[in-house]
Amino acid sequence: MSIPIASSLASPLPSSIAKCSEEEEKANMAIVFDRYKDRLATLPKKKGWISENIYMYQGFWHHSGRRTSVETVMALQDTFIARPTDIYLITPPKSGTTWLKALVFALVNRNHYQNHNLSTHPLLISNPHKCVPHIESELYRTTPTYVDPHSTRLFGTHISYTSLPQSILDNKCHFVYLFRNPKDVLVSLFHYGNKLRDQSRDQMTFEEAFDMFSKGITPNGPYWDHVKGTISSV
């Protein structure tokens, strides 16, 4: 797939991104979690990697009560409106998401910064996750991330292709999919999960992580279902 060039943007991408306060985001997150708490209670659950439980929804496991969670998948399916020019970067967790965001952002916006001082390039002064936000972040904002209606929107997500909002599929948007050697994913996920694990819980052993990964009980897993489901669909 060729990567579109954002040459038609009225201004460089960073200046078209609206800001939203942390307080506003937290308040909107609480609304989303409350709206879907009854549906959450009906879902199968297992012991989680980070929080206490992980929930099965549409064939995949998701944590609850986090910025990217089962509630946000449901809310996006109900409310998200895509544009035909959107580009979605889909990755299983710990598969090179940050690297992919930086690479595609640089490609899409390469015409904007040819004559600029490289020291002010967004990727040198900001995190790639700020340059290419997750689509889940749209749920928590009082104004859209991209305020220019004609801009090429770049979004990342860990949501499997089969659970994406129907609006994305209907608009035939662009997709970039990246996956990684599952052995490397397991090791990265093990360290990442323990780093973010609730302090009230003991650290997960590698044996526990290996067992859960082998059974497919991982955030946005089973891993191979995520990979096969996406590759066979796009």
Looking at every residue in the chain, the average pLDDT score rounds to 88
More confident of the two residues 148 and 98 = 98
| Mean pLDDT, rounded, for 14-20 | 50
pLDDT tier at 147, thresholds 50, 70, 90: confident
Per-residue pLDDT at 118 exceeds 80 = no
> What per-residue confidence (pLDDT) applies to 66?
87
Q: How does residue 8 score in pLDDT terms, banded at 50, 70 and 90?
A: very low
Banded pLDDT at 103 (limits 50, 70, 90):
very high
What pLDDT is attached to residue 47? 94
If one compares 103 and 8, the residue with the highest pLDDT of the two is 103
* Dihedrals phi, psi of 56, to nearest 5 degrees: -90, 125
Average pLDDT over residues 104-130: 84
**What is the CATH architecture assignment of 19-231?**
3-Layer(aba) Sandwich (3.40)
- Catalytic residue list: 158
The residue type at 16: S
pLDDT for res 116? 67
Average pLDDT over residues 60-69: 92
Model pLDDT, residue 16: 44
Judge whether 61 and 218 are in contact, CB under 8 Å. yes
Whole-structure pTM value: 0.87
- Per cent of the chain over pLDDT 70 is 90
What pLDDT is attached to residue 19? Answer: 60
End-to-end alpha-carbon separation of the chain, Å? Answer: 11
- In the predicted structure, residue 31 carries a pLDDT above the cut 60: yes
Q: What is the pLDDT of residue 14?
A: 43
> Per-residue pLDDT tens for 162-213?
999 999 999 999 999 999 999 999 999 999 999 999 888 899 999 999 999 9
pLDDT of residue 193: 94
Residue 18: predicted pLDDT: 52
Dump pLDDT digits (tens) for 128-141: 998 999 999 888 88
pLDDT band at 146 (very low <50, low <70, confident <90, very high): confident
